[in-house]
């Protein structure tokens, strides 16, 4: 939520500066995410008066102005605005200032041969609005030479993160209340402008859906003049990121942003008959203010008249009954809607709004009458008109929660010793009402009545939180837990130790760790849920009550989130991305239970190496890079990499000819790797090839034995190893890894390693065959090998290879 310091001071009497306000907000749990000072953009712009305005000697549409800046001699400025004239006051950008709208730095220059010492500015150029037909015209009393930022009243703007459990602070007044309770000033009472209500409301207002809309208040104001809003109102809305529209619309937005109370204004001339809160009919449609048509069902609450639906209750008004510049009579509506109903409706329609955000978290049921009077008073004061009596249809929630609270809990639960009088003062400043009672001998308790706006307070622990955060979370001392004597036992589980090793290995390989959502859009989740290479037997886990449609399905793979992250990187100009993430995949297991599988995912997208004078064109990733990453990570995880089988069937998401799986036995898949299928790249809008790796950590066999603290020193062999080369003719479809594995098993005691160093097919090699050359390392034990021993080992190698259809080349 954004608001200016000026707006905050409308409701909080305080001498605190910006830094103290920011520090206090952070201290009491309202995290300040950013501070923006518009005055910084207006540095170098001053209030100036045009003394003379003469035609430019060499341009029909330009004028040469003499401008008084209040300091020294007048300056000469060339200006092309049609409204520039002698005697007017405007805003002059001096040399050195930067124009906010385009970032241009102003300098003394010559325009068509005439020297210009700055620029007279328009509203758009200073990003104060959209007007650009002429330069800004200031009132006669504007002080010449005064900083325009100070004259304009620009104030720092805070961006505060409000947690979902604090809807009472989704208005500036609620923030001011919390700051006052924290001792930063005094909360000002709400000032409702005086107005006289005359006559009964000419429109019948009622609620036919007491569950969805327990209370519906309204009144009519006739004879209003809907024009542009005054400057003070526009400035406050702009500080909140809102675009001023018209006085009536701006005032409803102002009441929402200032007091957390959404309201709506209807053009009375566009309504027919009674205005009713009711359930929608299946198939009813409404054209909303966002110019989109929504189809409704009977679970949704709407505001309608005899002609049809005019408002999706608590979410967005309708285009057909919205106010315009020509509106003269309005119906004001302030209601209390069931939060759960609003949330379900918003998710069904995929419709978000500021009103929905507040209603689905719970607005203050006690602010209905005051809110309507406040909005009415502001409209009558600024737009004129005559207000009718208020109509109250239904009854808002009135039962307040009462909590038995023991002051000693603050020390026991919060770890802070706070005087009882201070505890009571904090709670009362937040609107809680305390009555002291006695329960048992010497045990003092209070009965605390919770204000209806505090939906988050459900018990004594919540009251402790209120007291502790207003005293200051930084006041909670760090107290170490008691530690027993002796050597501390390791606290990390084997799974945690494994994940730490994998993180270090992946980072050392040049990959960047990503943390993505565990939730996905359904389409992306289904793309990776079909026929997985490992663990895909479970059904996709879809939430019934998701936070949004884009976070509806639990991820069945680590790759979708990483691919979306790589896409965002590419959209921001990254030439290549190497990302990894360790997390959980989720499936619906037996009897509807959640089935979670620990997994490591890797994506390699774009350039592996940039272009250069030596390398030439940039080099991309290929399937062998993915395989190398998979093997390195499996080795770090303790998997027997030398015993793994390379097989296909990586899954439909992978390219069938450039992917594979690493298995320990035919059925136990430890990882899948390779290039992604073109259809997968298209689904994620990725250009060019992309490689991926997925390690199934639950499939990696655990090490046997419990291990020991004893460390065995490494003792290198006493004798030097020797190598022998073998060249075999093998079937062309035989995997080289299978041949290497067979050779290693020919004599496990003497053969310590075997690797392929050449593969050839073509001239001199029979059709359907290929030549594979293997270097075999032999390690003698207590004495060197004799010739006959080496020959015996070689015969074993040839025999083992022959079982795979290989024959030694002559």
Percent helix, strand and coil across the chain, each to the nearest 5: 30, 30, 45
How confident is the prediction for the chain on average, in pLDDT? 89
CA angle 81–152–132, rounded 5-degree value: 25
pLDDT in tens, 123-141: 889 888 777 789 999 998 8
Quick one: average pLDDT of 164-189? 94
Position 704 scores a pLDDT of 61
pLDDT in tens, 481-536: 787 777 777 788 888 899 999 999 999 999 999 999 999 988 888 888 754 444 44
Quick one: average pLDDT of 714-721? 84
Position 532 scores a pLDDT of 47
Strands 553-554 and 519-520: antiparallel
CA 694 – CA 600 distance, rounded (Å): 6
CB of 84 closer than 8 Å to CB of 45? no
- 382 CB contacts (<8 Å, ≥6 apart)? 229, 230, 233, 247, 251
CA 52 – CA 588 distance, rounded (Å): 79
Position 592 scores a pLDDT of 62
Position 442 scores a pLDDT of 55
787 is an annotated ligand-binding site residue: no
Q: Which helix (H) or strand (E) holds 255?
A: helix 247-259
Beta strands in 233-339 (DSSP E): 264-267, 275-279, 285-287, 293-295, 301-305, 308-312, 316-317, 329-336
- 705 CB contacts (<8 Å, ≥6 apart)? none
Lowest mean per-residue pLDDT among 55-64, 365-374, 699-708? 699-708
462 is an annotated ligand-binding site residue: yes
320 is an annotated ligand-binding site residue: no
- Give the number of other CB atoms < 10 A from CB of residue 87: 10
The percentage of residues in the chain with a pLDDT greater than 70, rounded to a whole number, is 95
DSSP reduced 3-state for 730: strand
Distances (CA, A) of 365 to 278, 289, 515, 607: 19, 26, 40, 58
Position 537 scores a pLDDT of 46
Position 706 scores a pLDDT of 46
Quick one: average pLDDT of 606-620? 82
CA 276 – CA 252 distance, rounded (Å): 20
Kindly list the structural domains of the chain, giving each domain's residue range(s) and its CATH number in brackets, ordered by start. 2-37+156-187 (3.30.56.10), 40-152 (2.40.50.140), 205-394 (3.50.40.10), 402-475 (3.30.56.10), 494-699 (3.30.930.10), 722-808 (3.30.70.380)
């Amino acid at each position: 939520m954004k608001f200016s310091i000026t707006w905050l001071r409308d409701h909080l009497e305080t001498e605190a500066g910006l830094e103290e306000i920011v520090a206090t907000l952070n201290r009491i749990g309202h995290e300040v995410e950013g501070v923006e000072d518009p005055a910084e953009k207006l540095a170098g712009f001053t209030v100036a008066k045009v003394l003379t305005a003469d035609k430019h000697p060499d341009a029909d549409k330009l004028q040469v102005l003499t401008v008084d800046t209040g300091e020294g001699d007048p300056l000469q400025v060339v200006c092309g605005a049609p409204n520039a004239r002698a005697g007017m006051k405007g805003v002059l950008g001096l040399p050195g200032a930067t124009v906010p709208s385009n970032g241009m730095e102003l300098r003394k220059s010559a325009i068509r041969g005439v020297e210009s010492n700055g620029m007279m500015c328009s509203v758009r150029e200073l990003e104060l609005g959209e007007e650009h037909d002429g330069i800004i015209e200031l009132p006669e009393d504007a002080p010449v030479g005064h900083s325009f930022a100070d004259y304009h009243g620009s104030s720092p703007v805070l961006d505060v993160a409000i947690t979902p459990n604090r809807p009472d602070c989704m208005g500036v007044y609620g923030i001011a209340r919390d700051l006052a309770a924290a001792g930063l000033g005094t909360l000002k009472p709400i000032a409702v402008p005086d107005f006289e209500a005359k006559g009964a409301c000419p429109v019948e207002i009622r609620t036919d859906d007491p569950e969805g809309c327990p209370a519906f208040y309204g009144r009519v104001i006739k004879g209003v003049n809907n024009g542009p809003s005054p400057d003070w109102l526009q400035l406050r809305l702009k500080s909140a990121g809102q675009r001023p529209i018209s006085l009536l619309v701006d005032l409803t937005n102002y009441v929402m942003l200032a007091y957390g109370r959404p309201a709506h204004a209807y053009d009375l001339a566009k309504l027919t008959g009674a205005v009713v809160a009711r359930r929608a009919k299946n198939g009813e449609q409404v054209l909303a203010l966002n110019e989109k048509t929504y189809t409704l069902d009977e679970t949704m609450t709407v505001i309608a008249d005899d002609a049809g639906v005019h408002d999706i209750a608590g979410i967005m008004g309708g285009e057909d009954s919205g106010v315009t510049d020509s509106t003269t009579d309005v119906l004001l509506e302030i209601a209390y809607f069931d939060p759960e109903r609003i949330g379900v409706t918003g998710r069904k329609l995929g419709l978000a709004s500021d009103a929905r955000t507040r209603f689905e978290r719970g607005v203050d049921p006690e602010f209905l009458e005051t809110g309507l009077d406040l909005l009415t008073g502001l409209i009558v004061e600024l737009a004129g008109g005559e207000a009718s009596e208020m109509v109250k249809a239904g009854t808002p929630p009135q039962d307040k929660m009462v909590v038995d609270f023991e002051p000693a809990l603050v020390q026991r639960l919060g770890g802070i010793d706070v005087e009882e009088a201070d505890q009571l003062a904090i709670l009362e400043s937040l609107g809680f009402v305390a009555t002291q009672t006695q329960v048992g001998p010497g045990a003092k308790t209070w009965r605390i009545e919770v204000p209806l706006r505090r939906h988050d307070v459900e018990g004594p622990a919540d009251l402790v939180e209120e007291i502790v955060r207003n005293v200051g979370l930084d006041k909670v001392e760090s107290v170490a837990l008691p530690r027993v004597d002796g050597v501390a036992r390791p606290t990390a589980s084997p799974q945690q130790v494994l994940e730490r090793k994998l993180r270090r290995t992946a980072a050392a390989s040049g990959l960047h760790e990503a943390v993505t959502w565990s939730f996905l859009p359904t389409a992306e989740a289904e793309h990776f849920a079909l026929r997985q290479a490992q663990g895909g037997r479970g059904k996709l886990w879809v939430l019934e009550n998701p936070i949004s449609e884009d976070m509806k399905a639990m991820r069945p793979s680590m790759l979708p989130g990483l691919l979306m992250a790589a896409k965002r990187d590419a959209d921001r100009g990254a030439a290549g991305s190497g990302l990894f993430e360790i997390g959980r995949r989720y499936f619906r297991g037996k009897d509807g239970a959640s089935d979670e599988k620990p997994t490591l995912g890797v994506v390699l997208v774009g350039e592996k190496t940039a272009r250069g004078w030596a390398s030439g064109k940039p080099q991309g990733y290929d399937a062998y890079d993915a395989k190398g990453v998979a093997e390195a990570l499996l080795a770090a995880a303790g998997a027997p990499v030398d015993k793994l089988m390379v097989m296909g069937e990586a899954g439909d998401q992978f390219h069938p000819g450039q992917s594979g799986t690493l298995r320990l036995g035919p059925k136990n898949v430890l990882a899948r790797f390779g290039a992604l299928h073109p259809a997968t790249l298209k689904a994620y809008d990725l250009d060019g090839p992309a490689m991926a790796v997925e390690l199934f950590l639950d499939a990696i066999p655990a090490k046997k034995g419990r291990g020991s603290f004893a460390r065995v020193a490494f003792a290198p062999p006493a004798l030097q190893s020797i190598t022998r080369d073998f060249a075999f003719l093998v079937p062309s479809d035989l995997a080289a890894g299978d041949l290497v594995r067979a050779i290693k098993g020919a004599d496990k005691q003497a053969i310590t390693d075997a690797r392929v160093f050449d593969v050839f097919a073509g001239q001199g090699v029979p059709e359907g065959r290929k030549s594979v050359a293997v270097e075999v390392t032999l390690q003698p034990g207590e004495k060197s090998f004799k010739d006959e021993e080496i020959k015996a080992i070689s015969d074993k190698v040839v025999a083992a290879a022959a079982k795979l259809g290989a024959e030694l080349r002559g």
